[in-house]
Amino acid sequence: MKRLGIMTTGGDCSGLNTAIHRIVRGATLRGWHVFGILDGTDGLCANPPAAIRLNDMTLPIENARLAGSFLHNGHAGAMNFETAAEAGRVKQFNKRLQDGLKQLKLDALILIGGNGSLSLAWSNRETYRDLQLICIPKTIDMDMPLTERTIGFDTAVQQLTSFCDQLMLTARSHHRWFVVQAMGRDCGQLALHAGVAIGASAILIPEIKFDINNLISHIKNAQTDYGIIVVSEGISLRGHSGRPADMISRKLTAAGITNRTAFPEHTQRAGDTTAADRILATRFADCALDAIANNETYVMTALIDGDVHTVALSDFIASGDIVRDPKIPDLMTSNAYVSPDNPLLSVAHDMGIYIGEKK
């Protein structure tokens, strides 16, 4: 009888609880014992490890739709790879992780995380050498290579779309523009998808250069005197500092365009999980359990051409744009960005949305 552990790491999002619930249900039907590790690596480092036995009633199905992680993702300032790197104690930290895994006597661990968590898992793969490591991709940024979707992205798009829908009503009432700052770090997928969904007047993302004067002209020449400008948090404006939405807003104000800024912030990581994210979480959970049954390890579940498969973590690393992590020395993360041939860019352009100086 296998002993399976589940751990969620990094930022939370909608769909984590669905994935946890489906893993528990599928594993239980296989006759496996399932343990949830609380607070990610923080809980794994505790002595004894902070873990609970999971069954169908631990996380009832009616609560599986909720946002956040039932297992929590760690305390602020607790020991993790970032704080261990700052203290020069990465080796000691990895040893504590190994000890925690041994105490739990796990045969396999399902790690649900973003590109930082998966890159860390690969770079510190010796930590997991005594068990099977299966990773499930989740992030609202959708900045992970080798998978067409990540858990949490669809719900985040819906959350941001709903936020902008409400702003559009007050924008119309007051003849003004709203500059809405989307999450996404250095990837513009969230801003692009939500911007197209709401019919934004402009979408600014890190991957496409923009000209502030062309943006201003586009807004002044618009057929209406109100609307939404979606700005990804990863954009920059030469010679200016501060929050991207504020920088764009100041330029619009200087040009005589009445506007306000709006920051949906962590509401994008909340909200009841959409059907699409629930289905994806269920498919990833089933794929992860099959991988364990097939004795796979160091793999990630991925949606490719509509089908769900496992891909090697080594391929995940090799397929992305490798970027040095600003917080963890020597860590290189594997990233994906909006491709220049992304069809949504052409759709946005054809719909009269300013998306920058796309060739």
How far apart CA 78 and CA 82 sit, in angstroms, is 9
39, 141, 143, 325: the active-site residue: 141
Q: d(Cα 122, Cα 135) in Å, to the nearest integer?
A: 10
Pairing of strands 132-137, 108-113: parallel
Q: What domains appear along the chain, each with residue ranges and CATH number?
A: 3-152+273-319 (3.40.50.450), 155-269+340-350 (3.40.50.460)
The pLDDT-based confidence of 327 (bands split at 50, 70, 90) is confident
Query: 241-281: per-residue pLDDT in tens?
Result: 999 999 999 999 999 999 999 999 999 999 999 999 999 99
SS3 125: helix
b/e 76-91 (16+ beta carbons within 10 angstroms → b): eeebbbebbbeeeebe
Please state whether the predicted TM-score (pTM) of the whole model is above 0.85. yes
Q: Is residue 133 within 8 Å of 292, Cβ to Cβ?
A: no
Whose structure tokens read 């991925």? 302
Please tell me the predicted confidence (pLDDT) of residue 14. 98
Nearest C-alpha neighbor of 89 from the set 326, 328, 324:
328
Strands 132-137 and 202-204: what pairing? unpaired
| 98-109 per-position pLDDT tens digit | 999 999 999 999
Q: What is the pLDDT of residue 78?
A: 72
What pLDDT band is residue 295 in, cutting at 50, 70 and 90?
A: very high
pLDDT in tens, 154-185: 999 999 999 999 999 999 999 999 999 999 99
12 is catalytic: no
What mean pLDDT is reported for the chain? 95
